[in-house]
Amino acid sequence: MPKITIVFASQDGQTASIARQIALHLVNYSIEVEVINLAAGPPDGAVLDESDVVVVAAAIRYGHPLATAERFLSCNAARLVQMPLVMLSINLTARKPDKRSYETSVYLRKWVQRHKLAPVLTASIAGKLDYPNYRWFDRVMIQLIMRMTEGPTDPTTCIEFTDWQQVNDLADEIATLV
């Protein structure tokens, strides 16, 4: 049975939910799926070697993917460049449908280019805005970003912007890669 490994870096849980939804959707196919949370430590090389496709999903914080995802890609770039790789960037800019592609997402483009990777599939996926759970500094900073990009600034706002149809469609596309 072909195998897909989904490796994710999540701070507040939304990227974890997206990774798990992709895995859940892949149950519709005869594919073995392993989901790895980088917070619990990086997978060893053997896990990647036995995978037919690797999916990396990382949350964006202040313009950059989480450090665990960056470390994972830096350490495994030589291996990942030789296999079908999917890179998913989770952020709030992608709440706008026209900011979800490689061409329109600066986060995606910089990410791929920085690691000199050649993913077969990329996407920017909207995450969650959760002001009540942010620390004061983060809340003020995100409000500033939202003001500049015409998003919600009410500090009581908690909105899941994730387009689950996009996530399921991506899972279908990922399934075609094995």
Question: Residue 5 or 10: which CB sits closer to ligand FMN?
Answer: 10
Site for ligand FMN in 46-75 (CB under 6 A): 59-63
Which helix (H) or strand (E) covers residue 40, if one does? none
Q: Tell me if 90 contacts ligand FMN by CB under 6 A.
A: yes
Which helix (H) or strand (E) covers residue 59, if one does? strand 53-61
Please report how close the Cβ of residue 34 comes to ligand FMN at its closest, in angstroms: 19
| 59 strand-pairing partners | 90
In angstroms, the CA 85 to CA 152 distance is 34
Sign, Cα dihedral of 12, 130, 138, 106? positive
Q: Tell me if 76 contacts ligand FMN by CB under 6 A.
A: no
Site for ligand FMN in 107-136 (CB under 6 A): 127-128, 134
- State which of residues 11, 21, 157, 168 lies at the interface with ligand FMN (CB under 6 A): 11
Question: Residue 76 or 91: which CB sits closer to ligand FMN?
Answer: 91
In angstroms, the CA 83 to CA 64 distance is 24
Please report how close the Cβ of residue 13 comes to ligand FMN at its closest, in angstroms: 5
In angstroms, the CA 178 to CA 52 distance is 6
- Nearest-Å Rg of the Cα atoms of the chain is 16
- State which of residues 4, 5, 6, 14 lies at the interface with ligand FMN (CB under 6 A): 14
Interacting residues with ligand FMN (CB under 6 A): 10-15, 59-63, 90-93, 127-128, 134, 138, 142
